[in-house]
A and B are shown apart, each in its own frame.
Chain A
Amino acid sequence: MSHVSPPSFWPLLAALGAGILFSGIVLYFYGSPLGTWALLIGGVGALGSLIGWATEILTQHVHDPDELQRMLNRGFLFFLISEAAIFAAFFAHYYYQRLLVFESWPPAGAPELETQLPAIATLILLTSGVTARIARSRFVQRGARSAAKTWILVTIALASIFLAMEAYEWGLLKEFDNFTHQTTMAGTYLYIMTGFHALHVLTGIVLWALVYVRLELGHMSPKYHFAFNAAGWYWDFVDLVWVFLFFSIYLI
């Protein structure tokens, strides 16, 4: 038999899971008792399907691993263009308002933002970008699996500290300045844009955890390590977006 890809139930289940999850959000916000259930079923369904999907791929014979890795790398980078375009929509919104609409910034009712804590958080996130690169080069160039795993753990730890600091900073703003996502345009930008970014950091942490598990299981070699590339590029992207965010929201 030629190399025709075998059938799979996972794409269908993952799609249905996503649909139920989204329906769950609507139900939840409009106070339906079904909301929580739909969120739960949809979330578990979508996530479970993705895990099933990933496990299924591992068990299958690959005809041309070099070509597959090239295609996966390329596909992931093109996907990141789409991610960048979503953030671009938010940045376009932000700069349009700040440069063309608002005469003074921050608008009345929004506090001057304290930059010390976010600056430290920025340094921590950028450091995690360096440790991620060290992890990759340890594995790809020297084949040092355990060193790579250690550096991945360091990366995950730094990313978690970053998230914790961000949450702490949100808490401070809310408690002392009564500043929420509903307080003026500035509050909306701060919470939604950094929040959307934080979701990406969280996704990045999950990706790094997956890379860690796959290293542990011996699934990757210095030659074939798409997951490593993907997590690495994703992390560079998350870092880069944060630098723009920090500059846009906190510095200017």
Chain B
Amino acid sequence: MAQTIQQPMTFYSRWPKPLAVIADWLTTTDHKKIGIMYLVYSLLMAIVGGAMAGMIRTQLAVPDNTFLRPELYNEILTLHGTIMIFFVAMPALAGFGNYLVPILIGARDMAFPRLNAFSFWLLVPSGILMLASLFVEGGAAAAGWTSYTPLASKQYMATPGVDMWIFSLHLAGLSSILGAVNFIVTTLNMRAPGMRMMEMPLFVWAWFVTATLILVAIPVLSGALTMLLTDRLLGTNFFKISEGGDPLLWQHLFWFFGHPEVYIVILPSFGIISHVLAAFAHKRIFGYPGMVIAIAAIGIVGYLVWAHHMFTTGLSTLSLLLFSAFSMVIAIPTGVKVWSWLATVWGGTIRFTTPMKFALGFVALFILGGMGGIFLANVPLDLSLHDTYFVVGHFHYVFAGGTVVALLAATYFWFPKMTGRFLSEKLGTWVFWLFFLGVLLSFMVMHFLGILGMPRRVYTYRPEFTTLNQLVTAGYGLQLIAGLLLLFDILRTLLRKPARPLPPDPWGVNEVQKTLDWVTASPPPPYNFERTPTPDQWRHAPSAEVAR
């Protein structure tokens, strides 16, 4: 029955086959197809951003290397950061969110399907503008992903690359804002009849809170970018110190966006990890209400900590104290989450599948990354660690070890749901260990380099740092091999026809922690569910906990 109505999209049935397929993807409003396009986009951009990381690590393989000119090094460094955050992490999370949120709440689609398509397509010109800026006269933006003024002002960086960078982020920002509105209304209005908010899976909660963060944080970046743009193109004075302005204002506005941005990419990752850990520990998620409250608390307190990026700028003692204290406070809800994950796994019947390995790896790396954060939230320590490789190591632990590892867990976990075929478990084990050890090596060593005093964002270093830098580059090599293996496996699996169709719950995980993604077919039909899901499909009997 499900098979016979797989293809109700007959709009292009009279077109020749390849054209019809292309037209179908270009015009689709199906949240699953849009989700997959987000994921493919993210993967392509990860190749670009990863290659840029490779150029950076090649340059830094030996001191005084001439592989990249210093100016080009700065451009590559700026674009690597911007691309990884805005064109890899965010689209990938939006991709999984698009694919999964409607299914997890038992809906047919997002609230506004056309707007959803628009959000995705905005990323295409946005990405093109960003990459094209490398090829204009004067080169791309080179002031780092934070583009501090006055460095990014017309006076010091006259290239149109900076303006293209700004417009690219305007498009990406609009995409995120419209997407956030869509996620919020979808979550509030489209839940299957009878599903209460406190019954929603944690991934849905995480995305809901993330969407509210996007809604407020991203426009502040857009505002600041607009000011920088009018300064550059119209000659206004927003960030001109010569007119008596405060040079720190850009930093305040940027980090008011920038810190919540950290949570925009980590909260959905938390959601992913909660699903995977419960599934393969064969237990219900421990302390669900606490997890929801922790996500919300992180979302709110995350707005009050931005100046911990500015401890060395001469803030008043009171500001230092408050921003330091609030930054430490975030450790509490984060700790709640980590302990809940450990309690979820504790005493479970653990199956060490590839997604489970990544999820456990996430917890380990995230604890390490979080600990570095506590060092940096401490004002006296930060004064000496600021702008060293310690900071670079810290945020790469959280981005690569946190978000990217969670994305890899999600990829392995939901690949059978999306495509009807499993990725290789054997290769997956290799991908996991290579990536895990690569992240551990590269970014652990960066912490040491920082403590020894190597500054960030410089194209060369003193000879005594050579060995440690080569270890970082070696760690990059491990991550690169892991990425290539994964890419190979994805292509190979997609090109091969599956031997037999997969059941709705191919992992066999839906008995204990029930979620609707394992109720519908793999892959789901265009309208997701043949019949509107009923509460018994997601609600646990009150005795379930005891019965275990």
Stretch at the interface among A25-33, A120-128, A140-148, A218-226: A25-33
CA of A15 to CA of B129, assembled, Å:
13
CA of A25 to CA of B181, assembled, Å:
27
B182: interface (CB < 8 Å)? yes
Contact with B527, one of A2, A8, A14 (Cβ below 8 angstroms): A2
Assuming the contacts A7-B9, A12-B27, A188-B238, asked whether A89 and B253 have C-beta atoms less than 8 A apart, the reply is yes
With a cutoff of 8 Å between Cβ atoms, the chain A residues found around residue B112 in the complex are 71, 75
B150: interface (CB < 8 Å)? no
Is B215's CB under 8 angstroms from A22's CB? no
With a cutoff of 8 Å between Cβ atoms, the chain A residues found around residue B380 in the complex are none
Write the A180-206 contact mask toward B (1 if CB under 8 angstroms, else 0).
011011011001100010000000000
A58: interface (CB < 8 Å)? no
CA of A28 to CA of B230, assembled, Å:
14
Is B118's CB under 8 angstroms from A75's CB? no
CA of A67 to CA of B24, assembled, Å:
28
With a cutoff of 8 Å between Cβ atoms, the chain B residues found around residue A88 in the complex are 219-220, 223
CB-CB contacts below 8 Å: B449-508 with A? none
CB-CB contacts below 8 Å: A31-84 with B? 53, 57, 67, 70-71, 74-75, 78-79, 81-83
CA of A53 to CA of B29, assembled, Å:
13
CA of A30 to CA of B163, assembled, Å:
10
With both chains docked as a complex, state the minimum distance between the C-beta of B281 and any C-beta of chain A, in angstroms.
36
Is A86's CB under 8 angstroms from B222's CB? yes
With a cutoff of 8 Å between Cβ atoms, the chain A residues found around residue B217 in the complex are 85
With a cutoff of 8 Å between Cβ atoms, the chain A residues found around residue B185 in the complex are 71, 74-75, 78
A171: interface (CB < 8 Å)? no
Assuming the contacts A20-B125, A71-B112, A92-B253, asked whether A3 and B527 have C-beta atoms less than 8 A apart, the reply is yes
CA of A182 to CA of B226, assembled, Å:
16
Contact with B189, one of A67, A96, A188 (Cβ below 8 angstroms): A67
Most buried by A among B115, B122, B243: B243
With both chains docked as a complex, state the minimum distance between the C-beta of B417 and any C-beta of chain A, in angstroms.
19
Contact with B215, one of A12, A85, A97 (Cβ below 8 angstroms): A85
B188: interface (CB < 8 Å)? yes
CB-CB contacts below 8 Å: B135-170 with A? 160, 163-164, 167, 170
A5: interface (CB < 8 Å)? yes
With a cutoff of 8 Å between Cβ atoms, the chain B residues found around residue A8 in the complex are 27, 29, 114, 117
Is A29's CB under 8 angstroms from B163's CB? yes
Write the B170-201 contact mask toward A (1 if CB under 8 angstroms, else 0).
11001001101110110011000000000000
Is A78's CB under 8 angstroms from B527's CB? no
With both chains docked as a complex, state the minimum distance between the C-beta of B264 and any C-beta of chain A, in angstroms.
14
B108: interface (CB < 8 Å)? yes
What is the chain A residue whose CB lies nearest that of B123? A15
What is the chain A residue whose CB lies nearest that of B219? A85
With a cutoff of 8 Å between Cβ atoms, the chain A residues found around residue B114 in the complex are 5, 8, 10-11, 53, 57
With a cutoff of 8 Å between Cβ atoms, the chain A residues found around residue B28 in the complex are 7
What is the chain B residue whose CB lies nearest that of A26? B163
With a cutoff of 8 Å between Cβ atoms, the chain A residues found around residue B215 in the complex are 78, 81-82, 85
Assuming the contacts A18-B171, A67-B189, asked whether A7 and B29 have C-beta atoms less than 8 A apart, the reply is yes
A93: interface (CB < 8 Å)? yes
CA of A22 to CA of B244, assembled, Å:
31
Is B249's CB under 8 angstroms from A6's CB? no
With a cutoff of 8 Å between Cβ atoms, the chain A residues found around residue B216 in the complex are 81-82, 85
Assuming the contacts A16-B124, A18-B122, A89-B223, asked whether A11 and B527 have C-beta atoms less than 8 A apart, the reply is no
Is A100's CB under 8 angstroms from B246's CB? yes
What is the chain A residue whose CB lies nearest that of B229? A25
What is the chain A residue whose CB lies nearest that of B162? A26
A107: interface (CB < 8 Å)? yes
B224: interface (CB < 8 Å)? yes
Is B181's CB under 8 angstroms from A75's CB? yes
Assuming the contacts A4-B30, A82-B218, A90-B223, asked whether A19 and B177 have C-beta atoms less than 8 A apart, the reply is no
CA of A19 to CA of B127, assembled, Å:
10
A229: interface (CB < 8 Å)? no
Is A188's CB under 8 angstroms from B236's CB? yes
Is B109's CB under 8 angstroms from A18's CB? no
With a cutoff of 8 Å between Cβ atoms, the chain B residues found around residue A192 in the complex are 227, 230, 236, 238
With a cutoff of 8 Å between Cβ atoms, the chain B residues found around residue A96 in the complex are 246, 249, 252
A252: interface (CB < 8 Å)? no
Is A187's CB under 8 angstroms from B237's CB? yes
With a cutoff of 8 Å between Cβ atoms, the chain B residues found around residue A83 in the complex are 219
A contact set with B: CB distance below 8 Å: 1-12, 14-16, 18-20, 22-23, 25-26, 29-30, 53, 57, 67, 70-71, 74-75, 78-79, 81-83, 85-90, 92-93, 96-97, 100-102, 107, 181-182, 184-185, 187-188, 191-192, 196
Can you list 17 A-B pairs, Cβ within 8 angstroms, ordered by A?
A7-B23, A7-B24, A12-B117, A15-B171, A18-B122, A18-B171, A23-B125, A57-B114, A74-B189, A82-B215, A85-B223, A88-B219, A89-B222, A101-B246, A181-B236, A188-B243, A191-B236
Question: A23-B125, A93-B227, A182-B235 known; 10 other A-B pairs, CB under 8 Å?
Answer: A5-B114, A6-B11, A11-B114, A14-B121, A15-B118, A86-B226, A93-B238, A184-B237, A188-B237, A196-B226
